[in-house]
Structure 1
Amino acid sequence: MKNTKQWFPYLLVIPAFLVAMLTVAYPIVNGVAQSFEGEDGGFTLSNYVYFFTDRNELANIGFTLVICLVTVVLAVVSAYLLALYLRFTHSWFSRAIGFLYLLPRFVPSMVAVYAMIAVVRDSGFINRLMLLFGINAKPGLMYSANGVVLMNLWFNIPFAAMIIAASLGGVRDSIIESARDVGAGRWTIFRTIILPLTYKDALVASTFVFMTNVGSFTTPYLMGPNAPKLLGVDLFNQFNSYGDYPKAAALSTIMFLLCAASAVVYIYTNMKDSEWEKK
């Protein structure tokens, strides 16, 4: 009877474990294994060599990293400022912004991209509005890196702000008021109190924004340039257009490693904090 009670929790976990293994672990392992398959079915590194020697593929990787890093910096900085405003400003306008900034989280990506295209394309709303004033404005945001970054910000600023705002909510007003009572200015309060208490959550937001954009497909497919391409579009072409499954598997593994690398900083930071708390 005692052994039954001891193993009963593990029996309850087994169904969920099997589902996770079949739907998550097995596809990953199978994809990595397929990435090392040659045309004859044997082991080869040629699929990886291709992506790091072909000029076009190197351009795609570099272009994706630049887009992701620019998006991370602009999105997280903007989200942090927005979260600070919502946390420490109490007015009807800040409450309205606090409600509106969450709306993009509930809009399907395809709908959002097409809505943005209708506004920013050279014959879109901006162009038609400016023509009323005799100005033939052409934003030039379609099929360009600027358009992709703009759309990425539309998606990622609300997400990052939501994470950072939750962190700022844990900063008690009494701490801020005590610092003000001893003469600390806004910059001093931010640098010595707010930032140390919230930087980890900003790092979490940065990690998720980076990982989201490494594999993004809808925005770069509809608004991005034909060359160089983001890796999400390149993966689609390798799999769907060319039918080269080993190369698609290799590119998937490369994208996974890029995402894993972005998480190393966050994991390292948490480990350092845990070591400090133990002392």
Structure 2
Amino acid sequence: MRKGRLFGFLLAAIPFAFIVIFVGLPTVEAIAYSLGVTGGPNQTVSDMAQNQIVAHHGITFGVYAQLWHTASFRSDFFSTVWVSLVSVLLQLLISYAIALYLRISDSRFARIVSTLYLIPMFIPGVIAAYALVTFWNQGGYADAIAHHLGAAHFPSFGYTLPGIIIGQIWTGLPFTVLLLASGLRSIPDSVVEAARDVGARWWTVCARVLIPMNLLPTVIVSTFAMIGALGAYTIPYLMGPTTPQMLGVAMTNYYGSYNEPEQAEAMAVMVFVVAAFVGFLYVWANLRLDRKSGASQ
């Protein structure tokens, strides 16, 4: 019995040690560096950095104050937050529309849709970004169609913040629909049939039965989508404007192009704090759902 427990402990210790060494320690070092601690493991990068703020005694929040007094960073930060929120909200709305349709319909068209929505999952993000830019950019396919239909001007979404939202929705849609549809399928048919037997229309069944009973997958999808949008790089880099930038792109520029790693790591800490707040909401929602399910039993 003891050997079995020891073996299980060793199996669990291997991935835990891997996370601590390759994720935990670098994270602690990055946070310390953003607080002005330039010695120890941060010595090499600090020797080559520019515009560095050093804490001679203890720590300093000088780099964070410097960033918040920079108009370009504030624009990047708030653009990242609102683009992430809008993209997650629209992604949820579109995904729920597809998932609910697949749940209540068993037609041939529904089976075709259940296959088509998975296509973006198998297309690399780089290729999808270039395809979307080509389609939505000025002089692209959509602009050409509008021109042939007599429209004088078609709005270009290439290299804009709305273009990033379109790209985020395209790349995140399969995972979102997959998780929401899986949760909806786990709801017993008897519950839906009971609502229909008392005269509820399909939109009432969706609003009063399916969506409330699918709350946990909705929370999970919202959390993962928000965290992914906050740290996205490929789509914002290929489809976004030069200013304002998403923080994932701005961090790379500060670290590589501007040679300001301290500022870049301070940005990463800010993104981590926002993501941690989103994760806290996920844990809180799970606890609430567990309490409700326990009380109902």
Asked if Structure 1 and Structure 2 have the same fold, meaning a TM-score greater than 0.5 normalized by the shorter chain, the answer is yes
Deviations 1:55-101 (A, max 9, x none): 22111111111111111111101101110001111111111111010
1:10 counterpart = 2:17: no
* Farther off after superposition, 259-268 or 91-100: 259-268
Give the aligned partner of residue 32 of structure 2.
33
Give the aligned partner of residue 20 of structure 2.
21
Alignment of 1:59-70 (within 5 A): 59-70=75-86
Give the aligned partner of residue 122 of structure 1.
138
* Farther off after superposition, 25-34 or 10-19: 10-19
Correspondence for 1:110 among 122, 126, 138: 126
Alignment of 1:114-153 (within 5 A): 114-133=130-149, 135=151, 137-153=153-169
Cα displacement (A) at 1:102 = 0.5
Amino acid of the structure 2 residue aligned with 1:171: I
The secondary structure found in structure 2 opposite 1:94 is: helix
**In structure 1, C-alpha distance between the alignment counterparts of 2:73 and 2:276, rounded to whole Å:** 20
Contact 2:133–2:159 under 8 Å retained in 1? no
**In structure 1, C-alpha distance between the alignment counterparts of 2:175 and 2:146, rounded to whole Å:** 32
**In structure 1, C-alpha distance between the alignment counterparts of 2:250 and 2:69, rounded to whole Å:** 16
Structure 1 residues 3 and 125 mapped into 2: Cα distance closer, same or farther (>3 Å)? closer
1:190 counterpart = 2:189: no
Q: Flag structure 1 segments of 5+ consecutive residues without an equivalent.
A: none
1:175 counterpart = 2:197: no
The secondary structure found in structure 2 opposite 1:257 is: helix
Amino acid of the structure 2 residue aligned with 1:36: L
Cα displacement (A) at 1:189 = 2.3
Amino acid of the structure 2 residue aligned with 1:12: L
**In structure 2, C-alpha distance between the alignment counterparts of 1:6 and 1:135, rounded to whole Å:** 71
Q: Compute the TM-score of the two structures, normalised by the length of structure 2.
A: 0.87
1:160 counterpart = 2:192: no
Structure 1 residues 146 and 9 mapped into 2: Cα distance closer, same or farther (>3 Å)? closer
Query: Kindly, what percent of the aligned residue pairs are identical?
Result: 29
Structure 1 residues 11 and 220 mapped into 2: Cα distance closer, same or farther (>3 Å)? closer
Q: Compute the TM-score of the two structures, normalised by the length of structure 1.
A: 0.92
Structure 1 residues 12 and 150 mapped into 2: Cα distance closer, same or farther (>3 Å)? closer
Correspondence for 1:201 among 192, 203, 217: 217
Give the aligned partner of residue 256 of structure 1.
272
Correspondence for 1:210 among 226, 230, 236: 226
Over the aligned positions, Cα root-mean-square deviation in angstroms equals 1.9
Cα displacement (A) at 1:12 = 3.4
1:247 counterpart = 2:257: no
Contact 2:53–2:63 under 8 Å retained in 1? no
The secondary structure found in structure 1 opposite 2:206 is: helix
* Farther off after superposition, 258-267 or 111-120: 258-267
Amino acid of the structure 1 residue aligned with 2:15: A
**In structure 1, C-alpha distance between the alignment counterparts of 2:261 and 2:170, rounded to whole Å:** 33
The secondary structure found in structure 2 opposite 1:171 is: coil
Cα displacement (A) at 1:130 = 3.8
The secondary structure found in structure 2 opposite 1:243 is: coil
Q: Flag structure 2 segments of 5+ consecutive residues without an equivalent.
A: 37-51
User: How many residues were matched structurally?
Assistant: 278
**In structure 2, C-alpha distance between the alignment counterparts of 1:122 and 1:192, rounded to whole Å:** 43
The secondary structure found in structure 2 opposite 1:139 is: coil
Cα displacement (A) at 1:4 = 4.7
Bigger relative contact order, structure 1 or 2, given CA contacts below 8 A and separation 6+? Answer: 1
Amino acid of the structure 1 residue aligned with 2:213: L
Amino acid of the structure 2 residue aligned with 1:29: V
Cα displacement (A) at 1:184 = 2.6
Structure 1 residues 238 and 192 mapped into 2: Cα distance closer, same or farther (>3 Å)? same
1:270 counterpart = 2:286: yes
Contact 2:146–2:154 under 8 Å retained in 1? no
Cα displacement (A) at 1:41 = 5.8
**In structure 2, C-alpha distance between the alignment counterparts of 1:213 and 1:127, rounded to whole Å:** 28
Cα displacement (A) at 1:126 = 2.0
Contact 1:148–1:219 under 8 Å retained in 2? yes
